[in-house]
Amino acid sequence: MARSPQEDDVALGAQLIRNDKWLNWNILRADEWAEGTSADLLGGGAWRRFCERLGALEARIRNTALPDDAATRADGFRHVAMLVRNALDVALEDVDPQRPTIRWADRRNKFGWDCPDALYATIPVRDDAVYRLRGRRGNVHFLGLQVAAGIRTLANEHADQWDLDAAGRFELVIGGPPRMRNWMPLDAGACWIFVRQFFYDWEHERPSPLWIDRIDDGAPNSASGLLDPGFFARRLDAVATHVEASLDLWVAGACALRDRYTNAFPAEAFGGTAMGAQQHQSAGTCYYRVAPDEALLVEVPVPRAKYWSIDLCNFWLESLDYATHQSSLNGHQAAVDPDGVFRAVVAHGDPGVPNWLDPVGHDEGSMIYRWNLAEETPIPRLRLVPLASLREHLHPDTRRVTPAERARVIAARREGVRRRFARPDW
């Protein structure tokens, strides 16, 4: 029996992620699989191989099958530099599931269609341990936790399910025997928790402060404090392998979208927890291509959802500069037409409409929609139209946005992003 397009997409996704070394969690397991000895490091061989492997990545960025415009190629070199830096953070910093800390992604951490509305964090855990997560709910629109084994989702919870005290504080036990409320399991293989905070109103919502402790009787580490040369040689090998695997994955994903879904979303939303998705979120990705004299019209009935958004990314599946450009819109920021349809316009120059999605100089890239805790999962429709006749294709009530109004919107976005990543404890 022939497979459906959705089944083909799932099969392709499974093939792309088969090499799981793109997950930075594997860097923490370098002693189990990476190569390197004390002699390799102390003699300089491990370092030379590390640098040679990073240098060889240039050929992947300059691959003739990839877009060769200056913006995309420059993005590619920056993308690799970011991957290296973030992987080295994991290799060098104290990332210990015995005494975990919450690792906030409050620097550039753009890959795999990162969400412009999000503040992400990760927490390393052991599946045989018990932890207590404390925090204050605050007013961030969505706060969710995802327990995973590698890329496979094991459990999801969100703050609307938890009991809070009068001040909005909560305690959540993670692991150990089941509890009636405020508990998440750590099933076999659990190795990390992914934290998502989604902001709707960037101006007024504040991050939820969080703290985690291990509370069972597990044995603490007995580290001497001295660096084992062989250990670090294997960490260098793991970092290089992680960066290679990450770059290969995201490039293959972008090329697959370009070949299959240019200016059109797949007919079904994606929500595969086997490949890292949240249980309570559906999403769809496609490739966009728009010329300077064209406009790409995005139309979708607004879903009944806790949170929804549509965002533009570059070829490398990084979100664009959403602080100083309106390259994303969520359900709070968007203007919805009287017929209940969200209509956005991807165009290189400001078309003077509220729902402009600015591609920030990129003729091509990727696009993603997210429906979170949604009652339905509509698929956005994309249409290329001449820029000169754009107004003919919009709802007649679409108002005009002046340059001064756009400047105020951008200033507010920039301030909202600055505040979010500063994580003030207000």
Q: What are the tens digits of pLDDT across the range 212-270?
A: 999 998 766 666 678 999 999 999 999 999 999 999 999 999 999 999 999 999 998 86
Q: What is the pLDDT of residues 54-95, one digit of tens each?
A: 999 999 999 999 999 999 999 999 999 999 999 999 999 877
Q: What is the pLDDT of residues 269-288, one digit of tens each?
A: 865 444 455 567 899 999 99
CA distances from 78 to 31, 110, 197, 316, 393 (A): 29, 10, 26, 10, 37
Instruction: Give the closest residue to 238 by CA, choosing from 90, 384, 109, 359.
Output: 90
Note the pLDDT of residue 166. 94
Note the pLDDT of residue 96. 83
- HEC readout, 146-198: EEEECCEEEEEEEHHHCCCCCCCEEEEEECCCCCCCCEECCCCCCCEEEEEEE
Element (H, E) at 47: helix 45-61
Note the pLDDT of residue 275. 46
Residues sharing a CB contact under 8 Å with residue 206, sequence separation 6 or more, in sequence order: 138, 139, 140, 419, 424, 426
Average pLDDT, the chain: 92
Q: What is the pLDDT of residues 367-404, one digit of tens each?
A: 999 999 999 999 999 999 999 999 999 999 999 999 99
